Structure 1
Amino acid sequence: MFERYGFFVARNAKLLLIISALAFAAAAVVGLGAFGKLQNGGFEDPTAESARAQRLIDDNFGGATNLVLLLHAKDGTVDDPATAAAATALATGLAAEANVSGVVSYWQTKAPAMRSTDGRDAIITAHVAGDDTQIVANTEKILDEYGADQPAFTVRAAGLAAVNVDVRSEVGTSLALAEGIAVPLTLLLLIIAFRSAVAALLPLAIGGLAIIGTFAELYVLGSITDVSIFAINLTTAMGLGLAIDYALLLVSRFREQLAANPDDVTGAVVRTVATAGRTIVFSAAAVAAALAALLVFPMFFLRSFAYAGVGVVVISAVAALVVVPALLTVLGPRVNKGKLPWARADRGPSSPWWGRLASAVMRRPVLAGLPVLIALFVAASPLLGVRFGTPDEGVLPPGADSRVVAETLRTNFAGNGTSAIDVVTTGPVAEAAWADYATSLSRLDGVTAVQTAAGTFADGSAGPAAPNAGGLTSASAQRLRVLTDLEPKSDAAQELVRDVRALPGPAGASHLVGGVDAQLVDSKAGIGGRLPWALGLIVATTFVLLFLFTGSIVQPLRALVLGGLSMSATLGVMTWIFQDGHLADLLGFTPRPMDTSMTVLLFCIAFGLSMDYELFLTSRIKELHEQGAPTATAVSEGLARTGRIVTTAAGLLAVSFFAFGTSSVSFLQLFGLGTGLAILLDATLIRGVLVPAAMALLGRTAWWAPAPLRRVYRRVAISES
């Protein structure tokens, strides 16, 4: 099948290049509109209890507080007449803004919780309306208008809305810096890797088609569903990375075939497509399957990476199988034009060093493999104490305004309620039942007070209502604010959310629990509950694809086990760094729990890419084995012929991801360093040591499959001819 396709490409090379150019132009016209369709946020499960509580609060109470302005008196205290007058005017102007509701200020309520213990600071709280993207845009306008310092006080902003503004600003700066480092370095390394300027342009052609084509796909999807703006960054990184992988594989095989028969360009193209082309098809399917597993999660942040990832993988593979063979047909031996002056003319397709390494490992598989296994298990050990969280101001650098204000609220304000647990009830509730419920809530461990429209409850006793309690009741719902002195998002705070949910609500009403701690509980449950399905999907699809590729059931199992070891070691190292705080001073972040969504994303992307390199190596081993070579010879020669390709491709791709390590946002550092490390681990220790060791120990059983499955393989497998 692939040979027939190779002949088709060789006969119609110029026509296919013209069609590809037209497709690129059409995709560019559509794809440029993608940026206006993509959204911020998407970290929450829209069906979770906290999300439903948030919608009730938005509909009935003007929205929960998501913006806090901290006013610091330059002289005296916040109660000085000049400071109070200017602050009141600021709050009045803010309340008049079209997209702002629920404005409450210390100078309006004189609530002690809204004033710092030293009297130098006080806060104004508000709700900025809109979806995640609109909230960011609206908050930027508000801060431009009301965030400037005044003669009597300075102004700093916090709250989820301000944090998202700061995160977007930091991410934009970080990505620009990362791309400024990665792109020129990658271009330089491409020329070195391909050993000629002409060949180095091939992955750029594939990458350009893949990136622009995926932008067009995201424009279409963004028009009909929610898609995260962060999908753009995965598109560019993986588009160029896969282009490098596939181009290296095709060009290397083409050069090898052309060296054997320099006058037969068509034959070289056909054989290249028949062998490397088949590998690319299965590789793309394996990577796409790993990324498609993200579709099972309810957060559109994660689903967006499935949209972008599957799209860029498929388009990269199609571009590689259409454009590169067509260009190789047109170029022929000219693919080596612009050769570097120091490139060795006699450099063959094999890398003797990798072959010798494989042979040495296979002679002593246990002795060679055991130290690597021990090192991977040690690297994975921090996972035993892993904790998970969601993004907040802690992902920002220490000097970011929203983070500084959040820390001030925690340390200088007594009983600050900006991170209170919200309880919303619907339906008619008798006053006695309402009071009994609030009294029960106030007795829970960790609760300092429960604010209701009828009064404030503490330690089982009722007191007068808070000055701003009028906003806690509506015609169809009631809202309680459960104040706590627990650290936001701590284990104790999450346990309190569970205790509040376990407490029976007032008779005659349903109730929902929300707030930042409830959102964390629901986010972990939303991902944790679906994680087994995602892992099961990855395992099942990978097993089936590798079986169809090799005809063995042992090879898929071996690949899954080694891939799992590599990923466990990577995640363990990331836990050691980002949760336990090692290298925090060097990288400039604050230790915190592992970001739940980013950890899942890292796993799916890195595991998919590891299968990419798995197939590169296994394809050569299988090809040599089917030609009659013993397993040991097939492995050593297969690694000799692919070791340089795999490590070069991995190194080039890792550069793109390691560049994220320069970010000032810790979850981007986690993603970039983790993915880069996983790629390098897989291309070196796994492919160079553990694969040969496993193949030596398995011997002939490495290619075993039950007779019924062998018949299935012969019937449905995609072969090279």
Structure 2
Amino acid sequence: MFERIAELAIRRPRLILIVAVVAVALMGVLGSGAFGKLLGGGYDDPASQSTRAGKVIDEKFGGETNLVLLVRASEGRVDAPAAQQSGRALLAGLKKEQNLENVVSFWDTGSPALRSEDGREAMVLAHVKGDDTERDENAKSVIDAYTGPYQDALTIRAGGAAAVTSEMGKQSGEDLLLAEGIAVPLTLVLLLIVFGSLVAALLPLVIGIIAIAGTFAELFVLGSVTDVSVFAVNLTTALGLGLGIDYALLMISRFREQLATGASVDDAVRRTVSTAGRTVAFSAATVAAALAALLVFPQYFLRSFGYAGVGVVAVAAFSTLFVMPALFVVLGHRVNSGRLPWANPGRSATRTAMWGRLAGTVMRRPALTALPVLAVLLVAASPLLGITFGTPDERVLPSDAESRQVSSVLQKKFNGNDDAALHVVIDTSVGKAPLTSYAVELSGLKGVVRVETGAGTYSGGRSTAVGPGNTALGRPDAQRVNVVSGLSPKSDESQSLVDEVRALAPPAGSHALVGGTDAVLVDAKGAIADRLPIAVALVVLTTFLLLFLFTGSIVHPLRALVLNLISLGATLGVMTWIFQDGHLSSLLGFTAQPMEVSMTVLMFCIAFGLSMDYEVFVTSRIKELHDLGEDNESAVTNGLGHTGRIVSAAACLLAVSFFAFGTAELSFMQLFGLGSGLAILIDAVAVRGILVPAAMRVLGRSAWYAPGFLRTLHGRFGLSEDGPAPEPAATAPAAPESVTESPYVKEPYVKAPYVKDSTQV
């Protein structure tokens, strides 16, 4: 297959490039509409009890409260005549808004719960209509229209889930622009340093642009038929640019290496596609397999990253395999044009030799070099022993965000947080006596401030005054019960309260659904925990299968999986230490909180896939040399000598794309960017540079072992290079062939002298 791709590029290079330009233009036009199709939210399980409760409330009770307007009197109390007059005018205006339902305030109910303890502030509660996209737009229009000074008597600020989601979407766009503004120019500078040639440095950006444009087009199509999160854009840009550079770097390096041996342009293209192209294909398959595991989760926030990740990997690999060889044919030796003054051909060889010397040192003293690294990684992973999980809320926003400030005031100055109440929906009509009995039991639970029903309000296991607005909670065919607590939202105590409320038997003959913010968190964690074993199994099995097909060994896949899990454990441990335990919070400007469960799963899949990316880069060259007859130690040393600088350069370039998100104001995007970038560097330096050669030294020839029936299977279905191996350099002495049959290789191999190329990039 790869030989045919090379021949196509050699025969029709300009046709391929013309088709690519037209395709990018079409994808750009299509992808420009993606933003209008993408949604906020998507953190909850559509089949969960909390989601079903929310749907019943939307259908029968006008929707849950998702917008809170915090109103402060300019002078005195909110029940003063001037404040009351302006408050009623505000309420009248809000009730006329087409996009709002269930508008309730202190001024029409007189409920003390809607007034702060000092009497200076009051709440207006409302439900913003629409799906996720419409709700964001509707909330923004209401917030823009009413927040700020009002009739000189009041000042209004917006909070609640709708306001938080709106601010998160806006902040995400700003974070993306800033991150790309940092990543793109810095990446170009690094490419110039790596290649020392302007033309060669620009080629990876071509692949990155194609990958991003193609994935935006994919997101537009998918967004037209299913729910796709707006945060998929962040992954598209970071991964598209990074993988485009990774794959192009590998291809360009091999092409320049072949030219340096004196090969013709056509032969250099053939050899590059059959070796580096094959590596790119396998690498893409492993990364895509890891990201495809995200599709098993029910939350479309996570599934969206699967859509974007698989798409960007596929487009990056496809364009690398077809467009890059065509560019090589057209450019030829001009790929080295624009050599920069500081470029020194000898420097590349020195750096390559450094990686070879490092591998040689590790191979000679595996315990002395690897054990300290393992110890550091295990210590770094230790914070995982205390990890806890949450979902995004107002705390992921900057401390000066309006919706976050409103949430803080609601928790500190009001008796119970109505915005974070649990909503119990009973699916049938219930008599006053059984409803009262049920509400009394609920009000007696630890942490509950009050329970509101259509029959009355209850606190501390007894009835209190009936609120005028509570009659809206009862219908002939359903009942709604609001359980308001004084507990911190999303705390362990609040989540325990969800379980206690669900464990309490509803009135006889009825069925209760429990929703609300904390119930959504409990259900989201449960859904991910249920699907996580499936996702991990898919990642492990597909990775094992692909690496077996690639190497013909069952030991290499096992070794790769173990080392990658150690690397990932260290990365997640460091992120837990920073973002959950709060270290570096003052430097990075975030609020410590439980690890965001969806982003942690995403980071695991991305880091695992990219680890396998570099695994394939290194193993492919080691296997190539081993198949040419080198012994295990020599193959590892020379293989890292060839690929070490490529992997380290690719890792630095890709890490830059992710580290740029460390400048984000949204803390879970900081977590994603810093965690992914750190995982890449740990893998490229500690794992590829030290642990891999140490493991290969300990395993010895058994690293290439496979049982007889699997060797037969690999001989039939395994993917190997197209065409014959290249002839040794002209100056190399001929050597007699000797064929050896071994259980450690996929097929008989020919021992031949290996001549190390003099120039690598």
- TM-score, normalised via structure 2 length: 0.93
Indicate the residue corresponding to 1:29 in structure 2.
29
Deviations 1:419-474 (A, max 9, x none): 11110001232332222222222222222221111111223322332232022112
Alignment of 1:61-72 (within 5 A): 61-72=61-72
C-alpha distance in 2 between matches for 1:75 and 1:496: 39
Q: How big is the alpha-carbon RMSD for the aligned residues of Structure 1 and Structure 2?
A: 1.2
Indicate the residue corresponding to 1:256 in structure 2.
257
Q: Give the stretch that moved more between structures: 588-597 or 206-215.
A: 206-215
Indicate the residue corresponding to 1:567 in structure 2.
568
Amino acid at match of 1:55: K
Alignment of 1:365-384 (within 5 A): 365-384=366-385
Indicate the residue corresponding to 2:677 in structure 1.
676
Whether contact under 8 Å (1:41, 1:133) holds in the other structure is no
How much has 1:3 moved relative to structure 2? Answer: 2.6
Indicate the residue corresponding to 2:665 in structure 1.
664
How much has 1:140 moved relative to structure 2? Answer: 0.8
C-alpha distance in 1 between matches for 2:348 and 2:108: 80
C-alpha distance in 2 between matches for 1:397 and 1:596: 20
Alignment of 1:375-524 (within 5 A): 375-524=376-525
Indicate the residue corresponding to 1:177 in structure 2.
178
Indicate the residue corresponding to 1:603 in structure 2.
604
Indicate the residue corresponding to 1:197 in structure 2.
198
C-alpha distance in 2 between matches for 1:472 and 1:325: 67
How much has 1:78 moved relative to structure 2? Answer: 1.1
Confirm whether residue 19 of structure 1 aligns to residue 19 of structure 2: yes
How much has 1:180 moved relative to structure 2? Answer: 1.3
Confirm whether residue 216 of structure 1 aligns to residue 217 of structure 2: yes
Whether contact under 8 Å (2:172, 2:231) holds in the other structure is no
C-alpha distance in 1 between matches for 2:533 and 2:470: 44
Indicate the residue corresponding to 2:627 in structure 1.
626
Deviations 1:196-221 (A, max 9, x none): 11111211211121111111111111
How much has 1:347 moved relative to structure 2? Answer: 4.8
Amino acid at match of 2:43: F
- In structure 2, list runs of 5 or more residues that go unmatched: 723-761
SS of residue in 2 equivalent to 1:310 = helix
Amino acid at match of 1:98: Q
Whether contact under 8 Å (1:194, 1:248) holds in the other structure is no
Indicate the residue corresponding to 1:312 in structure 2.
312
C-alpha distance in 1 between matches for 2:118 and 2:356: 71
SS of residue in 2 equivalent to 1:228 = coil
Amino acid at match of 1:121: E
C-alpha distance in 2 between matches for 1:4 and 1:589: 52
SS of residue in 2 equivalent to 1:468 = helix
SS of residue in 1 equivalent to 2:418 = coil
Alignment of 1:271-420 (within 5 A): 271-347=271-347, 351-420=352-421
C-alpha distance in 1 between matches for 2:139 and 2:648: 46
- In structure 1, list runs of 5 or more residues that go unmatched: none
Whether contact under 8 Å (1:456, 1:466) holds in the other structure is yes
How many residue pairs match? The answer is: 720
SS of residue in 2 equivalent to 1:351 = helix
Indicate the residue corresponding to 1:558 in structure 2.
559
Indicate the residue corresponding to 1:703 in structure 2.
704
Whether contact under 8 Å (1:100, 1:129) holds in the other structure is yes
- TM-score, normalised via structure 1 length: 0.98
Whether contact under 8 Å (1:428, 1:508) holds in the other structure is no
SS of residue in 1 equivalent to 2:417 = coil
How much has 1:348 moved relative to structure 2? Answer: 5.3
C-alpha distance in 2 between matches for 1:464 and 1:80: 23
Indicate the residue corresponding to 1:188 in structure 2.
189
C-alpha distance in 2 between matches for 1:544 and 1:404: 51
C-alpha distance in 2 between matches for 1:92 and 1:4: 72
Amino acid at match of 1:97: E
Amino acid at match of 2:548: F
How much has 1:488 moved relative to structure 2? Answer: 1.1
How much has 1:351 moved relative to structure 2? Answer: 0.3
Whether contact under 8 Å (1:35, 1:229) holds in the other structure is yes
Indicate the residue corresponding to 1:526 in structure 2.
527
Indicate the residue corresponding to 1:135 in structure 2.
135
Indicate the residue corresponding to 2:548 in structure 1.
547
Deviations 1:529-569 (A, max 9, x none): 10111001000000000000000000000000111011110
Q: Give the stretch that moved more between structures: 489-498 or 428-437.
A: 428-437
Whether contact under 8 Å (2:415, 2:449) holds in the other structure is no
Whether contact under 8 Å (1:114, 1:416) holds in the other structure is no
Amino acid at match of 1:330: V
Whether contact under 8 Å (2:188, 2:202) holds in the other structure is no
C-alpha distance in 2 between matches for 1:271 and 1:347: 24
Indicate the residue corresponding to 1:116 in structure 2.
116
Whether contact under 8 Å (2:428, 2:476) holds in the other structure is no
How much has 1:483 moved relative to structure 2? Answer: 1.6
Q: Give the stretch that moved more between structures: 524-533 or 437-446.
A: 437-446
C-alpha distance in 1 between matches for 2:217 and 2:235: 15
Confirm whether residue 59 of structure 1 aligns to residue 59 of structure 2: yes
C-alpha distance in 2 between matches for 1:511 and 1:427: 9
How much has 1:314 moved relative to structure 2? Answer: 0.6
* Identity value in percent: 59
Q: 1:78 to 1:431 in 2, by over 3 A?
A: closer
Q: 1:720 to 1:509 in 2, by over 3 A?
A: same
C-alpha distance in 2 between matches for 1:320 and 1:274: 13
C-alpha distance in 2 between matches for 1:27 and 1:180: 22
Amino acid at match of 1:498: D
Amino acid at match of 2:218: E
SS of residue in 2 equivalent to 1:606 = helix
C-alpha distance in 2 between matches for 1:685 and 1:416: 48
